[in-house]
Structure 1
Amino acid sequence: MHYRGKNYKRIMLLGNSGSGKSWTAERLGKKTGYPVIYLDLECWQPGWTYPPEEVWYEKNREFVNKEEWIIDGNHHETMEMRFQAADLILFFDISRLQCVYSVWKRHGHKRVDLPDYLEEKRDKKFYQLLKWTWDFPKKRRPGLLSIFEKYQDKTILTFRTRKEAEAFIEEVQP
C-alpha cells in the first residue's frame, strides 16, 4: 500500500470501541488486497471467553510474522508485538460520545469483527462495554500514547473524525 510516497505492508488500527477501526480495516483490505485480521474475531470464544494465554500469544505471533497485514484491535496484552512489527499505526482518537453512540447503534447487528456464535445482548456485559468505551480517553488512551512515545520511529496517523479516516482511505494507493 502506498500513502504519501511511502510503502506500508503492516498496518495496525487502534482506538476506542465504536471509533471506526473495523469499518476502516475492511475498506483498506478491499482497496489493498491485504489480509484483514480482526483481533476480536480471532480471540473471543463461546461465552465471551479468552483463549489460553499461550495459544493467544502464538496466534498473534503468526499474524505479525506475515509479510502483509491489516490488524484491527487493541488487545493490550499482545499490542507490543504488533507495534514492533507494524510500519503504520492508525490511531482513532474519536470523541467518546460518538463511540458510545456507535456501540449502542451497532449492537445486535451482524459484524465482520465478531464470530457468528457470539450473541450480543443488552445485559450487564454490554453496559460494562459502554462504560469501558466512555472511560477509554481517561483510562486507556494514556497507555496508548506512552507506547507511541516508545515507538517514535513508527509512522502513526491520528484520526479525530471519521471523515479524516475516509480521506485517508481515498488517498491510499494499492
Structure 2
Amino acid sequence: MRIIIIGNCGSGKSTLALKIANITNYPLLQLDSLWHKTDYSDDAKRYFENEQISFLRQQDCIIEGNYNRTIPLRVTQANLIIWLKVNKVKAVYRIIKRSIQYRLDNASRPEMPKQFSEHFDYDYWAFLKLVWAYDEQNTKRLLQKYKSDQSKIVILKSKAEIKEFLTWIGRIVK
C-alpha cells in the first residue's frame, strides 16, 4: 500500500508517519529531509521530483509532506491519502514550539538534515502567515482538484481519530 500524509505544517505529519512506519514496517520518505538538504535550485527541484518518483516504485511505502508542486505525482500513485487537519492556532503554536526546540536541540527534529537551520526573520514570519492561511488556500483547492480520488482520502482531525486509524492500519497490514 502506498500511503501519503498531507496537512498543514504543524499538524503532526512527521509524528504520524513514524508511527505508521513502525506499525507497518514500510519504508518512509520525509519530504522535508529530502528538500532541505538541497540548494533549492532548479536542479534541486528536478532531483526532488525524481526521488519521489523513484520511491513510489515500491509496492509499500509512506511519503509525508506537502510540497504542492509535486503533490499530483504522489496523489496519483497513492492507495491511501491521510489528511491531517488541525486548527490554525494549534498549527502555529506547534511550529513556534518545534522551532525553539530545534534551536536548542537539533535532535528534536530527526527528519531534518543536519545542515538545516531555521532563522527567526522575515521569511519565518512569512512562513507562519502561510500556515495561518493554509486551510483556506490549500485544502479546498486540493480536495476539489482530486475529487476522483476522494474515496482514498482519510481526514483525521483529533487524537482519538488518529488512535483509531493506527489501530485500523495495524489490523489490515498484519
Aligned residues: 164
Which residue among 16, 19, 42 is the counterpart of 1:27? 19
Alignment of 1:22-171 (within 5 A): 22-45=14-37, 49-50=40-41, 52=43, 53-108=45-100, 109=102, 110-152=108-150, 154-171=151-168
Which structure 1 residue ranges, 4+ long, deviate > 3 Å from structure 2?
A: none
Q: Which residue of 1 aligns with 2:105?
A: none
Three-state SS of the structure 2 residue aligned to 1:114 is coil
C-alpha contact 1:43 1:50 (8 A) present in aligned 2: no
Unaligned runs of 5+ in 1: 1-8
Give a deviation string over 1:89-127, Cα, whole Å, max 9, x none: 100121111111111111142213321210122222221
C-alpha contact 1:16 1:136 (8 A) present in aligned 2: yes
Aligned-residue CA RMSD in angstroms? 1.7
Three-state SS of the structure 2 residue aligned to 1:119 is coil
Residues in 2 aligned to 1:168 and 1:84: alpha-carbon distance in whole angstroms: 22
Residues in 2 aligned to 1:11 and 1:122: alpha-carbon distance in whole angstroms: 33
Unaligned runs of 5+ in 2: 103-107
Question: Percent same amino acid among aligned pairs?
Answer: 26
**Partner amino acid, structure 1, of 2:163:** E
Higher helix fraction (1 or 2)? 2
Residues in 1 aligned to 2:32 and 2:65: alpha-carbon distance in whole angstroms: 7
C-alpha contact 1:44 1:51 (8 A) present in aligned 2: no
Q: TM-score, normalised by structure 2?
A: 0.86
Residues 143, 112 of structure 1: alpha-carbon distance in 2 compared, 3 angstrom cutoff: farther
